[in-house]
Amino acid sequence: MADIQSKTAATESTNRGPIAMQLRDVAVSFHGRTAVRDCTFDIAKNRVTSLIGPSGSGKTTLLRALNRLHDLTPGAKVTGQILLDGVDIYRGNITVTELRTRVGMVFQRPNPFPTMSIYDNAVSGLRFNGIKKKSLLDEAAESSLRSAALWDSVSSRLKVSASNLSGGEQQRLCIARALALDPEVLLMDEPTSALDPVATLRIEELMTSLKSRVTVVIVTHNMQQAARISDDCAFLLMGEDRAGELIEFDTTEKIFNNPVDSRTLDYTLGRFG
């Protein structure tokens, strides 16, 4: 009881402005075995929200529920409510395809489509959704590649295969690919963990600049990264029943300097992995 009170108290204490997505008692289970539960918090618009916690705490599982990627997995069950602009993404009046054009995703390892050029990769989302008009495609390509800080280096070689880019550039291409559909929310699953420090830094800068365009939700196992770039923070931890649960949600400032739960403090001080 005290936990829920402290969580909702934390949620109300700061007015973050308009809300992009709301989670209420969200839990994900696979073949009956709970992977993550008790997730209740709001993702505010145009801010970076990070999901942090040690491995196994269910952060990625929770993230993937936000664009219904678990629909792919047989035996996966998502309970609770996830609202996008007030509409329940699982039970409400919104199709999966429409949801995914409004909530985009970037993955841990850069995964541009290997048989497509840079241009084709960037506009692949639009093409999937039936957009063929060249002017629209060109505009979206340029806009998204600029937003991903990639335009200057690739504008002269748009027809080149995406495999020619470096790791960091490939990841930025994946970001551009997701941005081309102009989503409201961008989910990022440990986007820099496969990259070198220089590329990581560039992408962190990018994320900070992106939040004026999209709402960013990022999973990261790197606390310092969360502290650097996120505005709000959700801390998850694996419980005794081997299910992850939300321990605390608040502004990053509060989580790292003055958390309510002792476990949060232990984690941010590096007392356990």
Closest approach of another protein to the CB of residue 269, in Å: 29
Q: What is the CA radius of gyration of the chain?
A: 19
Using rule CB under 8 A, residue 124 touches another protein: yes
What is d(CA 157, CA 167) in angstroms, rounded to the nearest whole number?
A: 17
**From candidates 25, 138, 196, 205, binder to another protein by CB under 8 A:** 205
Residue closer to another protein (CB basis): 110 or 244:
110
91 Cβ contact list (under 8 Å, min separation 6): none
Residue closer to another protein (CB basis): 11 or 161:
161
Query: If binding means CB under 8 A, how many residues of this protein chain bind another protein?
Result: 48
- Piece of 114-122, 191-199, 217-225, 245-253 that binds another protein (CB under 8 A): 114-122
CB neighbour class for 108 (10 Å; exposed up to 12, middle 13-18, buried from 19): middle
Residue closer to another protein (CB basis): 59 or 254:
59
Q: Quickly count: other Cβ atoms within 10 Å of residue 169's Cβ.
A: 21
8 A C-beta contact, residue 26 and residue 186: no
Which 126-145 residues touch another protein, going by CB under 8 A?
126-131, 133, 136, 139-140, 143
Kindly write down the DSSP assignment for every residue of 146-209, as one continuous string. Answer: HHTT-HHHHGGGTTSBGGGS-HHHHHHHHHHHHHTT--SEEEEESTTTTS-HHHHHHHHHHHHH
Using rule CB under 8 A, residue 236 touches another protein: no
**From candidates 15, 31, 74, 156, binder to another protein by CB under 8 A:** 74
Strand partners, 217: 49, 187
Strand partners, 238: 244
Residue closer to another protein (CB basis): 216 or 255:
216
Residue closer to another protein (CB basis): 23 or 69:
69
Which 163-192 residues touch another protein, going by CB under 8 A?
163, 174, 177-178, 181-182
Closest CA to 39 of 220, 270, 249: 249
Contact positions toward another protein, by CB under 8 A?
A: 67, 69, 72, 74, 95, 97-98, 100-101, 104-105, 107, 109, 111, 113-116, 124-131, 133, 136, 139-140, 143, 146-147, 149, 163, 174, 177-178, 181-182, 205-206, 208-213
